[in-house]
Amino acid sequence: MSDLVIRLMGTWSSWCFTRLQPGMIRDAARNMITASTWEHNETNHDALEGKLQRA
């Protein structure tokens, strides 16, 4: 039973992936990159603020 479910899940996910538009994949990747860089910049900003206040 579980092997069948795993096989069906794999088929379903690959089917969805092949039918996504290339632009959708590109937009998703861009959003992920933007979110990660934004978080990175926020933490750097907080660290700089702390250093300025202590100085």
pLDDT tens for each residue of 10-51: 887 777 667 766 777 788 888 877 877 766 566 666 666 666
Residue 16 maps to a domain: no
Q: Which residue is listed with tokens 């934004």? A: 38
Residue 49 maps to a domain: yes
DSSP sequence for 13-26: HHHHHHHS-HHHHH
Q: Which residue is listed with tokens 């959708």? A: 24
Residue 9 maps to a domain: no
Q: What is the pLDDT of residue 47?
A: 64
Residue 25 maps to a domain: yes
| pTM for the structure as a whole | 0.31
Q: Which residue is listed with tokens 């795993």? A: 6
Residue 4 maps to a domain: no
Residue 53 CA to residue 12 CA, distance in Å, equals 54
Task: Write out the residue range of the structural domain in which residue 37 sits.
Answer: 21-55
Exposure of 35 in the CB half-sphere (CA atoms within 13 A): 6
Residue 3 maps to a domain: no
Number of domains composing the chain: 1
